[in-house]
Structure formats: C-alpha cells, structure tokens
Amino acid sequence: MSNSYYPHPIIAREGWPFIAGIFAVALLVQLMAGWLWASPFWLIALFILQFFRDPPRVIPDLAGVVLAPADGRIVAVDKVQDPYLMREALKVSVFMNVFNVHSNRSPVDGEIRNQWYFPGNFLNASLSKASLENERNALWIQTDKGQNVTCVQIAGLVAKRIVCHVHPGEHLACGQRFGFIRFGSRVDV
C-alpha cells in the first residue's frame, strides 16, 4: 500500500475562503454580541470546516485497479452507452452527501486525453438523470495499457461549483487528487 502522492493539506484549498469568511463572521458576532448570538455561526463554521476536510488516502499498489474517485455511497452500477466516448461501458456512480469528503481522485493511472464541461441543472445528484442533465465535467483518461476510463464530476442539488485542476495532456497517478465539488454531488466512472 502506498499513499506517496498527496501534495495537499488536510483542509482542501477550495474551502479556505469559505472557512476564513465564516470564522471571521463568527468571531465578529461573538465580539460584538456575545457567545449566545455567535453560537449558530460557530456551528456553521464547524460544518464548513468538516465539509472541506481532505484527508490523505492509502492507495493500493495493485496493477490494473480502478479506484472509487470519491468518498460516498454507490447509488448505481449499470451497463450504459458512454455519451463521451460513444461506447458501451459499465458505469459506477458514487453519491457524496454533505458529510462525505468531496475531493475527487483519479480512478486510474493514465493520461487525460480529453475534457468536456457542460453547464446544466442542479437536480438531486443521487438521481440517475443527474448524470446527463446536471452541470458536469468529464475527463477521458487513457491508461498506460490503452484502456479508456471516463470520470465525470456532477454537481448536485446544492453544489454550485465543480473544480477541476487538470487538463488534456497531463498524466494522473491512481488516487491523485484532481478536483473538488462544493456542497453535495456525484462522480461517475
């Protein structure tokens, strides 16, 4: 087992502005109005802090594995027509609620061959139609052995921002962090 690829702090950088903002508001309310009035803001601050946690993961050193790209609950395993690579594929959908870690990690070692972004709706991400109707960002990753994997970040009901830090031509290591979805979402592989 290895977790050698982890260049990020334990709190995701995508959350730093939100965390700083809510902690500043909570502190200001506490200084101006006291602990009782500030307590709801401190609770919100703790919720936001836990939402943006980004703990390291142990990545298995096994050839040919496909890892889950996110923490959460598997809500679907279906044979589908891949709308990005126009082929039949097995799709595994992972739904992340607001208490799951929302960092997205590469399911395989490989090169990003293409990327597609689609603005869309913000339906409940646990619904199957969210894969085609919600805001989404898809990556085509080709493994070193030539296998094709599509990894799709999908915004949810509350999620309003998909963040993807990688682009076509870059190489991803299995388990490498490549993005984040804020406040509830889904990832399909």
The catalytic residues are 185
Q: Are 112 and 170 in contact (CB under 8 A)?
A: yes
Cα 94 off chain centre by:
10
Return the SS3 of 76: strand
The whole-angstrom separation of Cα 62 and Cα 182 is 30
The whole-angstrom separation of Cα 64 and Cα 163 is 27
Q: Are 115 and 139 in contact (CB under 8 A)?
A: yes
